[in-house]
Chain A
Amino acid sequence: MSSTTLSLSRRIQLREATPYLFRKALLLWLSVGWFGALVLPWYQAYDGFWSFIWIEDGWPLDDEYSPGILQIFMQDRLWLLPLMICIGLPIICFGWKRDDPRLANFLMGCGGLGLCWILLQGFVIGLRGWNSEAFLLLLGSPGPSQEGMGYGALLVASCLLFLFTQGWSLRGGVQGDGFVTGAIGLNVLLVLLFIFYPVVKILFSALLNEEGALAPILFFQKLTSERIWQLNCFNTGLSCGVAWNSLYLAILVGITTTLLGLAFALLVTRTSIRGKQAYRAITLLPIITPPFVIGLAIILLFGRSGVVSSFLEWAFGIPPTRWIYGLPGIWFAQTMAFTPIAFLVLVGVVEGVSPSMEEAAQTLRANRWQTFQTVTWPLMRPGLANAFLLGFIESLADFGNPLVLGGNFEVLSTQIFFAIAGAQADQGMAAVLALVLLGFTLTAFWIQRRWLGQRSYVSVTGKGDAGIPVQLPKRVRTGITLVCVPFGFLSLTLYGMILFGGFVETWGYKHNFTFKHYLDAFAVSWSDKFGLMWEGTAWNSFWTTLQISAISAPLTAGLGLLTAWLLVRQRFAGKDVFEFITMLSFAIPGTIIGIGYILAFNVPPIEITGTGIILIVCFLFRNMPTGIRAGVAAMAQLDPSLDEASLTLGAPSSTTLRKILLPLLRPAMLAALVFSFVRAMTAISAVIFLVSADYDMATSYILGRVENGDYGLAIVYSSVLIIVMLIVIGGIQWVVGQRQLGRRGSSPISWSGNG
């Protein structure tokens, strides 16, 4: 069906069915705005977002807690008045007809102006008066002041956003679909505020010198510095520039993780090997491992005094060396760590490749190898490209492994961290290095798009699709078995080492059995006075971590899939730019994001440092791109005529998304949920700067232990986290469930069952 007829029929549908609904929705959102403006405190209280002390502490008349409307009249905060007008005026629309052309423009005007104004006043009027030099000069200092935005402002802003997007859809934006315009509006606003703004804020410091003045020449010198770009490793024994090191490593890691991930995906979905579930679990292990631990385990296996090295010396007289420190070690550790990500992306894609296309190839007399080569493999291209991109970016941004195993092999991510937190304390240099890193990521992103091109990868359609997945050609099967089995064995050995490390007194030196570390970290006791006592030193950060991760994971997956849907299925102006910005926070190393978040969100209008919210927001926007990638790869396989069928039958796009696409997107949803949960539990570099006393995270605790050489505690904590994550992943898998593709099973029993 062509899109013009579709949009026409949809418009007719919408016009007939929605005026009543529309009015109800408008009233609902306006009431939300009014409630925010008239009742709730406008500004954020000092005690934090979740503190409800204001209810009994002077609200609504107290300056600190009074709602927007009282702020205007009692505190002379006249700049809030335009906002009240913007959410007050739309009440006159209820008298207008829905197809009144004034209506669309009026709503868009109120919403748009209001949104601009709320941001403008927030950024211009700060905690200590005018924030902008121009205002200081024009209107004198210090000027009016205000705190960070609170509940009231939040609700009013949502109401304004809704007014704007409704107006936009009435004007015919995105085929006049209010749900889609609303989703786009919300996404764009969030992405601009929580990705674009902090990233720009920190990257801008690349252009400044130590005194904070603009210094483009210095910037240019730093950007072209020898230490970043030199090529000495080719002709002399010296090391190359840090940029080349990172790039080289990332390409290697991208390739190995994609191939290994594919091997595991094929093994699990396309062969009849026994113990598939065990393989799935093995491939998951590294992804749920807190930072540093894999690196430490690798040292204890392959380091100079490691188990393997000692054995080789004892058995064959090979003198132990330090080969593991440097490129080989990081490559090895990152391959172990990031293969699961590639696997998660690819397993959905491999499952989605339609067997009937392969059957068609075979009917045309292609043998198994030809089928694999000409049908299966090309259909997996979006998955491969996305998996490579993720491995590449992860490698560039990885911080824990190079820190432990780097040796003298310098990479961008660690250089950035130490430019900020090392003896130089040069934020500008860090920003320059981050720009280089960002350049690599974006180039990779662009190349991936070019490679995928405009071809269609649709293989899940609404038509009867009763094929059985073709068995893999023999050589492919032998190949992947030869790769996967040793890899799985190595994984198990590493994890055995880690588990073992928690029960010995000093890992790597004194191996007598002890429970000491477990008791230090996770002791509980019972006292008559207080009941259950969480005595271990790790409990506090453990509960916080669990709580923050549990909250951020569903939000991340939801927002990520929604964004993927907008990117794949909807057309709107500026889509490419939007996609680009969503990738920013993922492509930039955590250290830079962490500092950027402090710079951006430590002062009004959005003041959330020191709260749990900043951690949730950081995880949400940092991990969202994984949800997007998984969703985009999976949705590229789904035939748009599935959604179109639903839409022409009169279902609104929100229902279509929920009833048609989401069930088919289960593997992607699973990947996004699991990954965002796990990442929230194991992220380190951004978190270092965002944790606070009340919201300490497990990884920052572990880092402290590693810094102090307390490997026992670090390992105990990591083992516990691994087990918790395994349980949670199992739970998520159980809740999300499997995708039912209505294909025949390949076992003999279902053959007979289907007749």
Chain B
Amino acid sequence: MRIAKRIGALMGAMLIGSVLQAADRLTLYCSPQIEWCELMVNTFEKQTGIRVSMTRKSSGETLAQIKAEKSNPKGDVWWGGTGDPHLQAAEEGLTEVYNSSMNSQLQDWALSPHKATGGRTVGIYMGGLGYGYNTELLASKGLPAPKCWKDLLNPAFKDEVQIANPNTSGTSYTTLATVVQLFGEDGGFDFMKQLHQNVSQYTKSGSAPIRAAAIGETTVGIVFMHDAVTQAVKGMPIQTVAPCEGTGYEIGSMSIIKGARNMDSAKKFYDFALTADIQSMAASVGAYQVPSNKGAKVPKEAPDLDSVKVIDYDHAKYGSKDVRTRLLSKWDNEVSTLPR
């Protein structure tokens, strides 16, 4: 124990130097890729002088953390990540109502989660669902280039498709909800059952299928289109597809955590993140989603949403706990148990 004490003394000495100044602070929970998070933090710090402590975790992990910290919240703002966990947090009263003055500049789709939750969350970007395929593998296998959802049901694609498990991934749940809205509940589940015959693996993480496609482990990966674009921009042989029947989308969202210690800073960040200039910067760090501010520049690599048929995705309904639990357990019982 003597060693322990010495180490303790040493630690004390090392850390005395790093006493914090009592400046304005903000604790940010950030869910998109780290480069984007860092860009936001650096720009915000420069503009306001507020010191930001940022932690990057996936949206599911962040929700779990905010829930566990409920009785003594440590975070102030949760920025980014797919919308469903934000809706869930709102549903469970973990986040705070805030009506930003920037709301008038936002697209309608960005405000729909805001309305659905009474102001607890707002959209900051939109990402269309789709898939990507490995052009080299497709050519070497002599497969027809897929253009629609139904093209993936072609028996020639047996064992060539990957999608995440909807139980573990918000991306995949969005796919399930999308096909249910496109083809009706029975039709949607028929689609999932037939797709099941072609799926080689249900991955855990939502973007894993496109990474597998990029290094040639699978031909098709069903993901958000901007994830496929990211791989293509990196130089991988990936072709992004916006399915011809139309497709659903996610609304990347932002919420203020209830009981935030730095409420003023949180609100400042919230307004800041909704401005056109800030949202226009996303493409510079390889984020090709569509920004929610009407005045923001849409990155030229982003899938052109005018040419993509976007369905009228009902986020309030399919994001609610009851519908989600029902669809997931139906998928568990009727789809995942089918033999292949």
- B166 pairs with A423, CB closer than 8 A: yes
- Cβ-based interface call for A586 (8 A): no
Assembled-state Cα–Cα distance A147/B64 (Å): 24
A412 to chain B, nearest CB (A): 14
The answer to whether A305 touches B217 (Cβ under 8 A) is yes
How far apart sit A273 and B12, CA to CA, in the bound complex (Å)?
A: 48
Which of B52, B159, B234 is in CB contact (< 8 Å) with A322?
A: B159
Check: B84 CB closer than 8 A to any chain A CB: yes
B71 within 8 A of A: yes
- Min C-beta distance of A159 to chain B, whole Å: 15
Contact of B58 (CB < 8 Å), options: A505, A603, A707, A709:
A707
Asked if A50 is at the interface of the complex by the 8 Å CB criterion, the answer is yes
Contact B20 A558 (CB under 8 A): no
Q: Name the residue in A408, A510, A603 with the highest tally of chain B Cβ atoms < 10 Å from its Cβ.
A: A408
Contact with A along B106-150 (1 / 0, CB 8 A): 000000000000000000000000000000000000000000000
Contact B27 A693 (CB under 8 A): yes
Chain B residue nearest to A695 in the complex (CB): B55
Q: Does B337 contact A (CB under 8 A)?
A: yes
Contact A707/B60 with A508-B216, A689-B65 known, Cβ cut-off 8 Å? no
- B7–A554 CB distance below 8 A: yes
Contacts of B15 in A (CB 8 A): 50
- B68:A598 contact, CB within 8 angstroms: yes
Question: What range describes how many residues of A lie at the interface?
Answer: 35 or more
Interface membership of B3, Cβ < 8 A: yes
Q: Is B207 an interface residue (CB 8 A)?
A: yes
Contact of B68 among A424, A537, A599 (CB under 8 A): A599
A505 to B71, CA, bound (A): 46
Contact A408 B201, CB 8 Å, known A299-B217, A304-B216, A423-B169: yes
Knowing A50-B16, A322-B200, say if A595 contacts B53 (CB, 8 Å).
no
Contact with A along B35-78 (1 / 0, CB 8 A): 00010000000000000111111101101110111011010000
Within 8 A of B (CB), among A523-581: 537, 547, 551, 554-555, 558
Q: Does B194 contact A (CB under 8 A)?
A: no
Chain A residues in 8 Å Cβ range of B64: 420-421, 425, 427, 595, 689
Question: Within the assembled complex, what's the spacing in Å between the Cα atoms of A707 and B38?
Answer: 16
Q: Once bound together, how far apart are the Cα atoms of A692 and B56, in whole Å?
A: 9
B326 on interface, CB distance cutoff 8 Å = no
How many whole Å from A603's CB to the nearest CB in chain B? 5
Chain B residues positioned under 8 Å from A427 (CB to CB): 64, 67
| Bound form: Cα–Cα A595–B54 in Å | 19
Cβ of A595: which chain B residues have Cβ within 8 Å of it? Answer: 64, 68
Interface string of B304-340 (1 = CB under 8 A from A): 0000000000000000000011001000100001011
Using known A-B contacts A692-B55, A693-B55, A708-B34, determine if residue A423 contacts B324 with beta carbons closer than 8 Å. yes
Contact present for B217 and A418 (CB under 8 Å): no
Query: Contact between A692 and B16 (Cβ–Cβ < 8 Å)?
Result: no
Docked-complex contact B204 and A602, CB < 8 angstroms: no
Chain A 227-268: CB-based contact to B (< 8 A → 1; otherwise 0) = 100000000111000000000000000000000000000000
Assess whether A704 is interfacial by the CB under 8 Å rule: yes
Within 8 Å by CB of A423, from B12, B18, B52, B170, lies B170
Find B71's partner among A418, A603, A692, A700 (CB 8 Å cutoff).
A603
CA distance A547 to B15 in the complex (A): 11
B88 lies within 8 A of chain A by Cβ: yes
Q: Does B103 reach chain A (CB closer than 8 Å)?
A: no
Tell me whether A325 and B201 are in contact (CB under 8 A).
Answer: yes
Q: Who on chain B is nearest to A186 by CB?
A: B1
Q: A238-B337, A707-B58 are in contact. Are A418 and B168 (CB under 8 A)?
A: yes
Q: Kindly identify which residue among B33, B169, B339 contacts A237, using a CB–CB cutoff of 8 Å.
A: B339
Q: Is the CB of A47 within 8 A of B215?
A: no
A4 contacts partner chain B, Cβ-Cβ < 8 Å: no
B223 to chain A, nearest CB (A): 11
A36 interface residue, CB < 8 Å from B?
no
A131 to chain B: closest residue by CB: B71
Cα distance, A237 to B85, chains bound together (Å): 35
A509 at the binding interface (Cβ < 8 Å): yes
List A residues at the B interface (Cβ < 8 Å). 47, 50-53, 127, 186, 227, 236-238, 299-300, 303-305, 322, 325, 403, 406-408, 414, 418, 420-425, 427, 505-510, 537, 547, 551, 554-555, 558, 595, 598-599, 602-603, 607, 609-610, 688-689, 691-694, 696, 700-701, 704-705, 707-709
17 A-B contact pairs sorted by A residue (CB < 8 Å) = A127-B71, A304-B216, A418-B168, A418-B204, A421-B61, A421-B63, A506-B236, A509-B214, A509-B237, A554-B3, A603-B72, A688-B61, A693-B28, A704-B34, A708-B34, A709-B211, A709-B231
**Which 5 residue pairs spanning A and B have beta carbons closest together?**
A693-B53, A305-B216, A422-B168, A421-B60, A418-B168
| Interface set of B (CB-CB < 8 Å, partner A) | 1, 3-4, 7, 11-12, 14-16, 18-20, 27-28, 33-34, 38, 52-58, 60-61, 63-65, 67-69, 71-72, 74, 84-85, 88, 159, 165-170, 172-173, 200-202, 204-205, 207, 210-211, 214-218, 230-231, 234-237, 324-325, 328, 332, 337, 339-340
Apart from A238-B337, A425-B88, A427-B64: 14 A-B pairs, beta carbons within 8 A: A50-B16, A403-B204, A408-B201, A421-B61, A422-B168, A423-B328, A427-B67, A506-B234, A595-B64, A602-B74, A692-B74, A693-B28, A696-B55, A708-B34
